[in-house]
Amino acid sequence: MDWRDFSWRTASPLAKGLIVGGAILVLVIGAYLAGRQGAAPNAPTASHRVAVAPNTGADAKPVMAATNLVPLTKLSSGPCETFAPQGWRIADQNKDGTTLTVTSADGSLTGAYGAMAINSGQVQGLYGPQFQSPEAIGAYLIKALINEDPQLDANAETVGSYQAVKFTSATHSGYYLAYRFPIAADPGGFGLIFRIAIGSAGDAHSVGVAGAAAAAIRCTARLHPPTGPVYHAPRDTSHGAGRTGGGADSDLAGTYNAQLGTGWVHDPGTGQNYNVDVTSDWRENGPEGPGYYKQNGNDITRLEPGLQ
């Protein structure tokens, strides 16, 4: 066919069909190329979209699961309770219910809590040097727990109403949180709430796990000073568990524990509590926004902060 002498009126139906088909093909190709050139350089195209298939292989790993997610179980005795990893046990508690000590299954990690009143005679050293200050009491208690002489840091860190002191010994390391408050019945003495976390020397994660158990301890017993009437600790500083919606002294303890790398979360559906690593377990781009997640099969659950 001579395109220079082409006449649409005299063209055969075949020729007309070829021309229309070619024109449509040109338009389609042109539209496709225009769309490609107008798209952002890094915009994903249909061929780059990835559908997440279920992890069913032998080496399948959770897509969003927290790698250091530690399920917690409730431990309780009398007026005291705490949440600790599976296998932990209550090692000691006094008859008044104002102290509680829990340890890991192998005894290498310890979390302890106590509330006591120190009278003016003890502060003056009449009953030994171990009662003269919160720091002296801490060193005395830690030695009793680990049977080693601890070396307490000279500089304490202020955490809310607490003084936080790190310590080391031959085989252990940890921290001692102490809150001192006045006692009206004995102005020369003082009241003390303390929490102790004992882990392995040089193992910050073990200290954090022990600290989570210590910080979660809640006791509701009354605090009796050695002399004078029964003393009730101030409401905002008395025994607390740091639960969701709560507000107690262990919230501050939990804050310090978070600085050391561990924290509490719970599954809002099941009520299961967990201890997490606040750095490695955090998902900034989680499917439901930033947070901590766990995975059961193909289901991903966003965990809520605090103990349930």
Q: pLDDT digit string (tens) for 106-123?
A: 999 999 999 999 999 999
Nearby residues of 155 by Cβ (< 8 Å), 6 or more positions away: none
Dump pLDDT digits (tens) for 22-54: 555 444 445 444 444 443 333 332 222 222 333
pLDDT band at 221 (very low <50, low <70, confident <90, very high): low
Nearby residues of 125 by Cβ (< 8 Å), 6 or more positions away: 131, 132
Taking the CB of residue 230, how many other CB atoms lie within 10 A of it? 9
Separation of alpha carbons 151 and 138, rounded Å: 11
Q: Is the dihedral of CA 132, 133, 137, 139 positive or negative?
A: negative
Q: Has this prediction a pTM greater than 0.85? A: no
Strand partners, 74: 83
pLDDT band at 223 (very low <50, low <70, confident <90, very high): low
Separation of alpha carbons 120 and 134, rounded Å: 13
Q: Collapse the DSSP code of 295 into the 3-class scheme (helix H, G, I; strand E, B; otherwise coil) and give the result.
A: strand
Residue 204, by phi and psi: left (phi above 0), alpha (psi -120 to 50) or beta?
alpha
